Amino acid sequence: MIKIALLGSTGSIGEQTLEVVRASGGRLGVWVLTANGNWERLAAQAREFGPDSVVIADRGFYGPLVEALRDTDVKVYAGEEALEQVVGLASVDVVVNALVGYAGLGPTVAALEAGKKLALANKESLVVAGDYVMRLALEKGVPILPIDSEHSAVLQCLAGEPNEAQKLILTASGGPFLHTPVEELARVTPRQALRHPNWTMGAKITIDSATMLNKGFEVIEARWLFGMPEERIEVVVHPQSVVHSMVEFADGSIKAQLGRADMRLPIQYALYFPQRLSCPGERFSFAECSRLDFLPVDAQKFPALELARECLRRGGLSGCVLNAANEVAVAAFLNGRISFTGIVSTISATLEKATQVARPSLEDYRQSNLEARRIAEQELRR
């Protein structure tokens, strides 16, 4: 049995990972489950899966969680440091990092330090500190397997391929505003932005998809996971989300991975890699899909993608600042404090003012994250 430490088990990826575990016929087991504040759901999951340990990151919910699991053998921990400790437990075979935001970086680093195979949904770990994380993985000889569907698609195109890729082509659905005129974007509401056409995901990534910063994050993620220079990572809008991404080779031949928009597939591919096992759910049917469209990204309408590329070219702490400013700006948009277009302007203003360091340490990232949040907050108050 493969024993999983599932960080963020109460979220969208977390819950879908548990569905994969349920369908695994005992091949997968759960050793650790964690949540931030949703202790009731965490307790219910612990009762169903019987893990060794659970962690509630927000210490305020430790008491109720302990009480809810009093009649079980499950060990209960609280706080951020506990998240970083449980990933290194001896029995853990693979860490699934399904946390959202900067909070994922510490556990990513801790998992690699402990030599644990990492199935990574938390793309922010690579956006913030891709250079650092990949060097650590290399040093420790630990594989990082992407859960993001685009990167899983690239991995699937490369698996068993002896030739080097010339270009990666990431597909983007275009989000809810693909056909919205650019001049209307300043007036769109959180409710509209949260209505993703093809995927049901957590709120933060859904807004990132609406601004298309999510695709910028994925360019950064691809650069680090596959060692591909930024200029050889192309993005193409593909509204049907059937082709999950593609790889081009020296002869001009392109391999693509296709399937239904169902995150259980990339989750399970990461967990069993390099094996493929049966996956529950409907199959894609060409007969039911009359067309597949591909179109270029409208750079004027979605400036966030180029902003992320620029951060990748600048290097240093740029990705960390980009991520922190975005987290603050997305929360502000969801709370009605700024307009949708205010997200990108807050990020741009923060990037101009934040401190730069060429080759950051873990402490530099920590400081930069705090500083960028402070600057972004000041920008919001202007």
Q: Which residues bind ligand NDP (CB under 6 A)?
A: 8-14, 35-38, 57, 98-100, 103, 121-124, 148, 199, 201-202, 204-205, 263
Say how many C-beta atoms besides its own lie within 10 A of residue 66's C-beta.
17
CA 186 – CA 365 distance, rounded (Å): 32
Q: Which is nearer to ligand NDP, 244 or 349 (CB)?
A: 244
Least distance (Å) between residue 7 CB and ligand NDP? 7
Q: Which is nearer to ligand NDP, 81 or 231 (CB)?
A: 81
Least distance (Å) between residue 99 CB and ligand NDP? 4
Q: Which is nearer to ligand NDP, 137 or 205 (CB)?
A: 205
Please tell me the total number of residues recorded for the chain in this structure.
382
Q: Judge whether 91 and 328 are in contact, CB under 8 Å.
A: no
> Using CB atoms, what's the residue nearest to ligand NDP?
11
Q: Which is nearer to ligand NDP, 104 or 349 (CB)?
A: 104
Measured in degrees and rounded to the nearest 5, phi and psi for residue 295 equal: -145, 155
Sign, Cα dihedral of 204, 12, 133, 369: positive
Q: Judge whether 37 and 125 are in contact, CB under 8 Å.
A: no
Least distance (Å) between residue 27 CB and ligand NDP? 23
* Residues in CB range of 308: below 8 A, 6 or more apart: 127, 213, 215, 216, 217, 219, 220, 322
Exposed e or buried b for every residue in 313-352, given b needs 16+ CB within 10 A? eeebbbbbbbbbbbbbbbbbbbeeebebbbbbebbbbbbe
Q: Which is nearer to ligand NDP, 62 or 199 (CB)?
A: 199
Least distance (Å) between residue 22 CB and ligand NDP? 17
Least distance (Å) between residue 118 CB and ligand NDP? 13
Question: What kind and span of H or E run contains 191?
Answer: helix 190-193
Q: Which is nearer to ligand NDP, 121 or 332 (CB)?
A: 121
Least distance (Å) between residue 300 CB and ligand NDP? 25
The two three-digit tokens of residue 365, written as one number: 């990232």
Least distance (Å) between residue 121 CB and ligand NDP? 3
Q: Which is nearer to ligand NDP, 99 or 157 (CB)?
A: 99
CA 110 – CA 114 distance, rounded (Å): 6
Q: Judge whether 95 and 5 are in contact, CB under 8 Å.
A: yes
Look up residue 78 and give its DSSP letter.
E
Least distance (Å) between residue 377 CB and ligand NDP? 17
CA 205 – CA 127 distance, rounded (Å): 13
Measured in degrees and rounded to the nearest 5, phi and psi for residue 146 equal: -75, 140
Q: Which is nearer to ligand NDP, 101 or 360 (CB)?
A: 101
Least distance (Å) between residue 37 CB and ligand NDP? 4
Q: Which is nearer to ligand NDP, 57 or 271 (CB)?
A: 57
